[in-house]
Amino acid sequence: MNKKLFTLIAVLCLLEGVLSDPCAICTFSASGDDSAGQCTACDSGTCTTSESTIGNDQSVCTVTTKSCPIGTYSANGYDTNGNGAGCTSCNPGTSTPSTQTQGTSQTACSLNACAQGTYSASGFDTDGNGAGCTSCNPGTSTPSTQTQGTGQTACSLNACAQGTYSASGFDTDGHGAGCTSCNPGTSTPSTQTQGTSQTVCSLNACAQGTYSASGFDTDGNGAGCTSCNPGTSTPSTQTQGASQQSCILILKACPAGSYSASSFDSDGNGTGCTLCAINTYSAAGATTCTSCTNNRTSPAGSTDVTACVCPSGSAGPQDGTSVCISSTTSGQKLTVFVSLILALLSLF
């Protein structure tokens, strides 16, 4: 009988040992496990030295604990060894939603850093969708991800000016030195241009004789620049202006014996006109030179039709246009005859 009872108790004890769990750290019980019900939790801010702590009252909670700070976690949310090492730090760019976060893996670090250009008090997104971060005003940005701030002053970076660029499109030093200038005669399409080479300077200066608000061609084909009225021009390329008042140069008509597409010189000093080729001529202000007719020839830069003379070995009137008569042996009589007629005509 005693033997049977003993065996039963032994089996029960064994069963109890198998089915019960040891008290977790910061909890205790009379047996050190939960065989008699839940283990008792230490008062907030205190902890036991280990799990399976045996005790009947809070006096076994001898360790003074602190809550794990934001950005760290532990199984019970407390730094169980009291010196900080009991909390695990979140991976860079992540954080916990609060102090005293309970967790046994990085999944406890449910907050992600605010993206560059946004900020929050903690530097982290409180809702997991980005809505917990406030966006910087247009043309400004934060120096990095995870920027802490409660106002737009956190947005300390300003956009690179038009004509300059940086990888982020923002000036990293606050004084403009963080933006690279485009080569002379080129510009960026806008402020805040992102780029790492001069290829982002896609705008070219307006040609002389044209202008635009920025001095650059906004469409890359010249259509972004307005042409000056005929006979006027801008003093240089890249002229900024909103009206024909930018066309302060008064151009001269191309002199006789030369021409240009506009009929004017290009700089007000007579430059930009092309001399008429041999066997052609022009009056002042010409867009093309006129060819001599009837095989007549003229020197380059001729200014009048009368400069067109009969080629050697032939002769004709000085009018610059008439057919020339060969003065070689067979035609000599005719030449004499024509000359006589002309001489007679000139008498009357």
Ligand X SMILES: *[C@@H]1O[C@H](CO)[C@@H](O)[C@H](O)[C@H]1NC(C)=O
Q: How many residues bind ligand X (CB under 6 A)?
A: 6
Among 294, 303, 306, 322, binds ligand X (CB under 6 A): 294
Site for ligand X in 194-253 (CB under 6 A): none
The nearer residue to ligand X, 135 or 297, going by C-beta atoms, is 297
In the complex, least distance from residue 239 CB atom to ligand X, rounded to whole angstroms: 12
CA distance 100 to 107: 15
State the minimum distance, in angstroms, from the CB of residue 334 to ligand X. Answer: 13
**Least distance between ligand X and beta carbon 295 (Å):** 4
Nearer to ligand X, 133 or 292 (CB): 292
User: At residue 110, what are phi and psi to the nearest 5 degrees?
Assistant: -90, -5
Least distance to ligand X, CB of residue 339, Å: 18
213 vs 250, which CB is nearer to ligand X? 250
Q: Using CB under 6 A, which residues numbered 250 to 269 contact ligand X?
A: 267-269
> Which of residues 220 and 235 has its CB atom nearest to ligand X in the complex?
235
How far apart, in Å, are the Cα atoms of 71 and each of 77, 100, 150, 293?
11, 10, 19, 95
Which of 50, 58, 287, 295 touches ligand X (CB under 6 A)? 295
**Least distance CB 233 / ligand X (angstroms):** 8
Q: Which amino acid is at 234?
A: T
Minimal distance in Å, beta carbon 227 to ligand X?
17
The footprint of ligand X on residues 317-336 (CB under 6 A) is 323
To ligand X, the closest distance from the beta carbon of 267 in angstroms equals 4
Residues 6+ positions from 250 with CB-CB distance below 8 Å: 231, 232, 268
Beta carbon nearer to ligand X, 11 or 323? 323
Closest-CA residue to 151 (of 131, 136, 168): 136
> In sequence order, which residues have a C-beta less than 8 Å from that of residue 227 and are 6 or more positions away?
209, 210
Rounded Cα–Cα distance for residues 218 and 216 (Å): 6
**Smaller CB distance to ligand X: residue 202 or 294?**
294
Residue 13: count of CB within 10 angstroms of its CB: 11
Q: With residue 183 as reference, give the H or E element that holds it.
A: none
178 token code pair: 């963080």
Q: Alpha-carbon distance 10 to 264, whole Å?
A: 120
Which residues make Cβ contacts (< 8 Å) with residue 8, sequence separation at least 6?
Answer: none
> To the nearest 10°, the Cα dihedral for 321, 306, 295, 325?
70
Beta bridge partners of 141: 157
Query: Judged by CB, which is closer to ligand X: 63, or 253?
Result: 253
Binding site for ligand X (CB under 6 A): 267-269, 294-295, 323
